């Protein structure tokens, strides 16, 4: 591969726009894109994506910190678990033997979990944006969330922007949307840096891959964030969920024929679930209007 790959720059630009639009963690899209469309070895894809993320993450984290949408004690407890676990995730991956296959299958499983993360993201749209400074900290569950998220990020680069948010929603159901996103984004800075450092030492970091990712993703994220105020997120997220689901199955070795059947079933189940929820919400809306 040349120093800069124009096709990869264009691909990362497109993926970064989606990241900016939806708030989805870049690893869930960028790493599979490199593996499935550019034939980048799994370990090199994960290593390069994490190093690129380590460069970009602090920007968003500082924005939320300046806006006051970060719960700093919660960030601290998350980092207690996530920072060492992210580095350990790299060592675990190396100890499992056939590294490339381990990364490939681990990424497939992580993407399936990331689909659940999109559901959690959708729930955020219904939550208050007021910062709640009175949430009751639960140190042990919070550290465990950091540990689980850190290991997954260290092995696959997926999870810092999706899986951890879902777990936080379970432990802290009353936390506001902005504070949840800001807290997750800021704690992801040391988490991703730890994972990136591990991959620099024991992974397969490639400077040309990382440079191409940064060149495309930085303007892409900026553009996606700029247009996110009017973009139809309720349309983008279901499409993104289907893409992640299909990518996960492909990484897990599902045949093309079976993949089509699985995706069709996933879409049908999603449509049926959406209709069921819509029917449940509609009567309550009508009652409110009558009163």
Average pLDDT for residues 50-70, to the nearest whole number?
Answer: 78
Chain segment 74-96, per-residue pLDDT in tens: 999 999 999 999 999 988 888 87
Half-sphere exposure of 219 (CA within 13 A, CB side): 8
- What was the pLDDT predicted at 1? 44
pTM: 0.72
Least confident of 3-12, 15-24, 282-291: 282-291
Chain segment 213-263, per-residue pLDDT in tens: 999 888 887 787 666 555 555 666 677 678 778 878 877 888 878 888 888
Band of the pLDDT at 104, cuts 50, 70, 90? confident
Least confident of 40-44, 114-118, 201-205: 114-118
What counts of helices (H) and strands (E) characterise the chain?
Answer: 11, 0
Work out the angle between the directed axes of helices 6-22 and 207-227 (0-180°, nearest 10): 40
Mean pLDDT of the chain: 78
């Amino acid at each position: 591969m040349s120093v800069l790959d124009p096709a990869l720059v264009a691909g990362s630009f497109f993926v970064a726009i989606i990241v900016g639009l939806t708030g989805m963690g870049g690893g869930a899209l960028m790493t599979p894109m490199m593996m499935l469309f550019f034939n980048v070895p799994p370990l090199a894809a994960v290593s390069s994506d994490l190093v690129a993320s380590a460069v970009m993450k602090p920007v968003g984290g500082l924005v939320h910190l300046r806006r006051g949408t970060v719960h700093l004690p919660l960030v601290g407890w998350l980092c207690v678990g996530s920072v060492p676990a992210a580095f350990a995730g790299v060592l675990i991956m190396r100890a499992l033997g056939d590294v490339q296959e381990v990364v490939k299958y681990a990424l497939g499983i992580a993407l399936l979990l990331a689909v659940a993360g999109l559901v959690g993201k959708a729930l955020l749209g219904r939550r208050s944006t007021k910062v709640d400074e009175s949430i009751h900290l639960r140190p042990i569950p919070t550290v465990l969330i950091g540990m689980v998220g850190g290991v997954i990020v260290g092995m696959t680069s997926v999870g810092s922007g999706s899986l951890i948010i879902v777990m936080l929603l379970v432990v802290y159901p009353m936390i506001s949307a902005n504070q949840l996103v800001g807290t997750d984004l800021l704690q992801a800075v040391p988490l991703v840096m730890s994972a990136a450092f591990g991959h620099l030492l024991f992974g397969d970091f490639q400077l040309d891959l990382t440079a191409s990712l940064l060149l495309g993703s930085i303007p892409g994220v900026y553009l996606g964030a700029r247009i996110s105020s009017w973009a139809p997120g309720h349309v983008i997220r279901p499409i993104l969920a289907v893409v992640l689901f299909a990518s996960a199955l492909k990484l897990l070795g599902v045949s093309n024929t079976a993949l089509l059947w699985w995706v069709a079933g996933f879409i049908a189940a999603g449509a049926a679930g959406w209709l069921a929820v819509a029917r449940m919400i509609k009567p309550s809306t009508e009652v409110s209007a009558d009163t």
